[in-house]
């Protein structure tokens, strides 16, 4: 189903709202300034698309006329094409519509008009805005200077190493970047990996099949995903191999193209495991390696692959290294104080 733009010059009896931004095409001498943009929005809940689109796709037709964009809806996805600012505004309206539908279970004409007004009131997002992921209606954004540097490093580089204490958002922001790129169709899949290393205690025999055995190690990655996507959408993407959450050992022998690959808890990899992971990178892929080098759970005498890799690769162009500190901790305020207290105690022990 494709809807092409038509002109909506003034309020109409059928409910077409007054444009809140200029829907007119640029003059001939301004055409070169308007950069065309194609954007695909993946619906949070495709099962509710009939409610979202409205009777006979009425809501999409209003969106088309107000924003002056081409709209194609197919298989739980909406493709927008047109001038960059118009497409950006249309994407904002769709995001607000989905939030409203999730909160109230409905999307009537009044809700549609309110979404348009709210989007018009928002400042336009710069084309370089990298995160377009929302949690409970609030956009995920870096909250410290260190986190901003981290997100910018992921945007500009194909391989990023991020280290720092617990609570600094190393994993959470990497997952948010991956989900944002997937929504924009700049990558085709997300791969989340973790070494299956026990944190200083022996868990013994774990019952269940292989997935049940490794699930406790992968739970933090699934928790981050669950904040940003509906469970039904995560399940569907995992069944279709669009999202993979796997133990590091399962990556041997693979080449990952068109993916953002995140290795979490990388301080618990061996040197051989880190080499194996880094050489999985394929065409059009990015890798983010995160870890806390103060919490290494490897057996005595084993060198951390994370520390080894950062020493070996630091001089290679195109690889970014980001160090987050206790000032970047964004969990409960006590976490920052706890981390600082342990660091101070450790320093006194070495003096």
**pLDDT band of 158, cuts 50, 70, 90:** very high
Q: Tell which wins on pLDDT, 179 or 200.
A: 179
Enter the tokens of residue 128.
């370089």
The set of long-range contacts for 334-337, using a CB threshold of 8 Å and a minimum separation of 24, is: 335/166, 335/167, 336/167
C-alpha 222/C-alpha 231 separation (Å) is 10
Residue 177 phi, psi dihedral angles, 5° rounding: -60, -40
The single residue listed with the structure tokens 């993946």 is 42
Residue 28 phi, psi dihedral angles, 5° rounding: -55, -40
Q: Output the pLDDT for position 136.
A: 60
The single residue listed with the structure tokens 């008009």 is 113
3-state secondary structure of 281: strand
C-alpha 222/C-alpha 243 separation (Å) is 10
pLDDT at 260 over 60: yes
Residue 56 zone, left/alpha/beta (φ > 0; ψ -120 to 50; rest): left
pLDDT at 11 over 60: no
Q: Tell which wins on pLDDT, 339 or 264.
A: 264
Average pLDDT (83-97) is: 84
Q: How many CA within 13 A on the CB side of residue 270?
A: 10
Report the chain's mean pLDDT, rounded to a whole number.
79
Average pLDDT (89-110) is: 84
Q: Output the pLDDT for position 269.
A: 93
C-alpha 180/C-alpha 224 separation (Å) is 13
The segment with the largest mean pLDDT, out of 32-36, 134-138, 293-297, is 293-297
Predicted TM-score (pTM) of this structure = 0.63
Helix (H) or strand (E) holding 229: none
Partners of residue 74 on adjacent β-strands: 77
Residue 105 phi, psi dihedral angles, 5° rounding: 80, 10
Q: What whole-number percentage of the chain has pLDDT above 90?
A: 27
C-alpha 55/C-alpha 112 separation (Å) is 12
3-state secondary structure of 190: strand
Q: Output the pLDDT for position 170.
A: 94
Q: Output the pLDDT for position 127.
A: 42
Least confident window among 23-37, 116-130, 144-158, 176-190: 23-37
Average pLDDT (323-351) is: 75
């Amino acid at each position: 189903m494709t809807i092409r733009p038509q002109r909506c010059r003034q309020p109409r009896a059928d409910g077409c709202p007054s444009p809140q931004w200029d829907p007119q095409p640029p003059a001939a001498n301004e055409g070169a300034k308007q950069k065309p943009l194609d954007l695909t929005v993946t619906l949070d809940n495709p099962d509710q698309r009939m409610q979202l689109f409205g009777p006979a796709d009425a809501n999409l037709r209003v969106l088309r006329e107000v924003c002056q964009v081409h709209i194609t809806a197919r298989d739980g996805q909406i493709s927008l094409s047109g001038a960059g600012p118009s497409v950006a505004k249309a994407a904002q309206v769709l995001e607000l519509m989905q939030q409203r539908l999730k909160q109230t279970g409905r999307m009537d004409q009044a809700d549609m008009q309110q979404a348009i007004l709210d989007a018009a009131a928002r400042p336009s997002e710069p084309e370089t805005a990298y995160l377009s992921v929302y949690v409970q209606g609030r956009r995920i954004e870096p909250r410290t200077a260190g986190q901003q540097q981290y997100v910018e490093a992921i945007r500009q580089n194909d391989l990023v190493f991020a280290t720092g204490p617990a609570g600094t958002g190393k994993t959470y922001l990497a997952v948010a970047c991956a989900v944002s790129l997937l929504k924009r169709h700049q990558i085709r899949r997300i791969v989340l990996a973790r070494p299956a290393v026990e944190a200083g205690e022996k868990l013994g025999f774990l019952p269940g099949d292989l997935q049940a055995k490794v699930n406790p190690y992968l739970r933090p990655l699934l928790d981050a995903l669950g904040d940003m996507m509906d469970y039904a959408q995560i399940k569907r993407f995992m069944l279709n191999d669009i999202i993979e959450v796997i133990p590091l050992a399962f990556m041997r022998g693979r080449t990952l193209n068109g993916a953002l690959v995140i290795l979490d808890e990388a301080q618990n990899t061996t040197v051989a495991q880190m080499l194996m992971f880094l050489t999985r990178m394929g065409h059009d892929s990015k890798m983010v390696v995160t870890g806390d080098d103060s919490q290494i759970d490897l057996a005595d005498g084993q060198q951390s692959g994370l520390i080894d890799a950062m020493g070996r690769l630091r001089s290679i162009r195109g690889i970014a290294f980001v160090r987050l500190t206790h000032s970047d901790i964004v969990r409960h305020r006590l976490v920052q104080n706890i981390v600082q207290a342990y660091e101070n105690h450790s320093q006194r022990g070495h003096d």
